[in-house]
Amino acid sequence: MHALVRIGGATVERALTCQHCSLSFPDEARLGRHVRMHSYDRPFRCQFCAVSCLTRQHLVHHERTHTGERPYKCPYCPNAFSSKTNLTRHVRSHTGERPYRCHRCSIAFTQKTHLITHSRIHTGERPHRCDRCSCAFSLKCALLRHMKTHEGR
């Protein structure tokens, strides 16, 4: 029997997990798109630097860091953004919207990644493992801080 899992706003019978980074997805199509991010096959090359991207959309967003183009304007303040995703995230700072809610304790978050990180409190998941000892951490920054304890040994 599979447990019901909430991912973002969707409830799914089982979560599909990326073997590279432990992120969970509600269906195989989304998992497949995500897994390609870990691939070295990045056919879209930046005309300004050596960066290569997985999709044309990612390339357009990246190239805006060179051109300074910010076509997405905030309706609440003068800020503008290079991607619609960044605008949406920013607008939530004005509206207070928190669409990603933990199904275990009801805390809500503005970003899906914050919910995923928070959920590790409940699951005990520690996907970031030290390659020098048996320690594992729920946050990558905690692993990086831990790795400094191995320096000079």
Going from the N-terminus, what domains does the chain have, and what CATH number goes with each?
A: 1-39 (no CATH), 40-94 (3.30.160.60)
Confidence (pLDDT) at 29: 83
* Cα–Cα distance for residue pair 5/133, rounded to 1 Å: 32
Q: What is the 3-state secondary structure (H, E, C) of 15-57?
A: CEECCCCCCEECCHHHHHHHHHCCCCCCCEECCCCCCEECCHH
Burial of 17 (C-beta count, 10 Å sphere; 0-12/13-18/19+): middle
In which residue are the tokens 């706003």 written?
Answer: 9
pLDDT band at 1 (very low <50, low <70, confident <90, very high): very low
* Cα–Cα distance for residue pair 2/17, rounded to 1 Å: 14
Handedness of CA 123, 105, 139, 1 (dihedral sign): positive
Confidence (pLDDT) at 153: 66
Q: Which of 130, 150, 149 is nearest to 140 (CA)?
A: 130
pLDDT band at 5 (very low <50, low <70, confident <90, very high): low
Confidence (pLDDT) at 2: 38
pLDDT tens per residue, range 28-82: 888 887 887 787 778 899 999 999 888 899 899 999 999 999 999 999 999 999 9
Confidence (pLDDT) at 42: 81
| Residue predicted with more confidence, 6 or 88 | 88
Highest mean pLDDT among 18-22, 89-93, 127-131: 89-93
What's the whole-number average pLDDT of the chain? 86
The average pLDDT across 109-132 equals: 91
Indicate whether this model's pTM tops 0.85: no
Burial of 56 (C-beta count, 10 Å sphere; 0-12/13-18/19+): exposed
Confidence (pLDDT) at 102: 94
Confidence (pLDDT) at 3: 41
pLDDT tens per residue, range 7-26: 556 554 556 888 888 777 87
